[in-house]
Chains A and B, each alone.
Chain A
């Protein structure tokens, strides 16, 4: 297992798995909030289209479903303040 961080919290993951999969397996479903309603959103299409799973990983905004975890990766919610 490798470890990365989501909003400061350490998460265990299998090498090779996507950030979205690792977070969902850890029970973290809401990855951001929608811009107008502020409602919680999480991975939905799993093919890099909907962008609901957008996170900031090591400073870059990316869909978590298409991002492979790496040990020590620092990930935060893709919500925009």
Chain B
């Protein structure tokens, strides 16, 4: 087992910037990511085997990030899925050659965000993909969700996906946005902190208008039904400010794909596993680990940066990552106090500015309780186990109050995704039935962070070589 000062889980902007900063201050750093290359979700690289034309479309920020990382002495383990982090610290991963583990004095969780989708009847159909998922199809795989796609949900990914589809030669039937136009405009002051992005947003809206893509503000999908072999019919209707459906008028669209998403939530596998303290921050995606100004969690030696600390966007993730790298070097004793103060001040200013923009975007992505309240009883909430809202309501009637009791009584969250997809929305549904998000709690964090092929974990071993503990008593 090899060791380093710091292991970073996640090679997105937060993880890479932290790695570079920590390494520049003399720490030995291991960076691990399950993806084949650095970049994270936002700068996800196209596969290396893809042609130069597609490579050239990759976001230049991501290309620079990867170049800087390759030029560094950071030890990189891509294609490594981290499945456990034990206190002290030991990090276990499954790589192309089987299980590996590394030890370090500190761990930085930079594992980013995951997508939340508020369920509606028909949302499990294979024509439907997540909105964030659609960005990955477009930028890293070079494929369209379908020939004609309806783009729905909330937040900045709506525009990113619609534009991405048009640029790649696809068609967009409509953008169905939970927010009103006024809500977007309300964020102009924050957008002014990133004029480059504000200008880009305007150009995008102009492009959508030229392409004749209708934008339905304050609308949401009511249901999706299959029609014929290749198409689905999507019913869309107006909603109130809190997301609650309004009676009329309903509109129908026939498309062959739907991309839908209701914002991002922090991926907290590592902090939940290690029992760090969390708090519920509705405007930053929901549950997130509590941190101090040095990115320290309540578990000594465990740090968090990027969207995994609460949604604040890619620019903030990069700034926070750098600062976190510096703070860790400071805590581990390779940066003197005076130098730390000097270096940290400008970084803190950058991070604060970037966060202002990110927070405005995250606000647009916040879950709307009325939409959750209106999920019809027969709708599946837990995709893995096909658990409907009605089953959940019955379990609450039988006395389940917390997410974990609900899980035990219904199997909601027990399937292959382990509640990573449904957990946030099911928590919100429980609140509709009574209690607060704090009462309801979170699913208990456990290993493995991803399903592990049993054969790969067990490896090849003769029975005689198995290390067995002493026998149980008779």
Contact = CB atoms under 8 A, between A and B. Distances in A.
B443 to A, nearest CB: 14
B416 A51 contact: yes
Interface string A14-57: 11111001001101011100111101111111111111101000
A44 B116 CA distance: 11
Contact of B129 (A27, A39, A43): A43
Contacts of A17: 47, 50, 141-143
Interface of B: 34, 36, 41, 46-50, 81, 114-115, 124-130, 132-134, 136-137, 141-143, 230, 380, 383-386, 415-417, 420-421, 450-451, 453, 455-456
Contacts of A16: 46-50
A37 B36 CA distance: 35
B435 to A, nearest CB: 27
B47 A34 contact: no
Contact of B141 (A21, A30, A35, A50): A21
Contacts of A37: 380, 386
Contact of A39 (B124, B134, B450): B124
A45 B456 CA distance: 24
Contacts, number: 109
A51 B133 contact: no
B432 to A, nearest CB: 24
Contacts of B133: 43-47
23 contacts: A14-B50, A15-B47, A16-B47, A17-B50, A17-B141, A18-B141, A21-B137, A21-B141, A27-B230, A29-B126, A31-B126, A35-B385, A35-B415, A36-B386, A39-B386, A46-B129, A46-B132, A48-B450, A49-B417, A51-B417, A52-B383, A60-B455, A62-B453
A45 B47 contact: no
A62 B385 CA distance: 18
Contacts of A68: 36, 47
A50 B12 CA distance: 20
The 8 closest A-B pairs by CB, nearest first: A42-B126, A16-B49, A16-B47, A46-B133, A51-B416, A29-B126, A36-B386, A21-B141
A66 B34 contact: yes
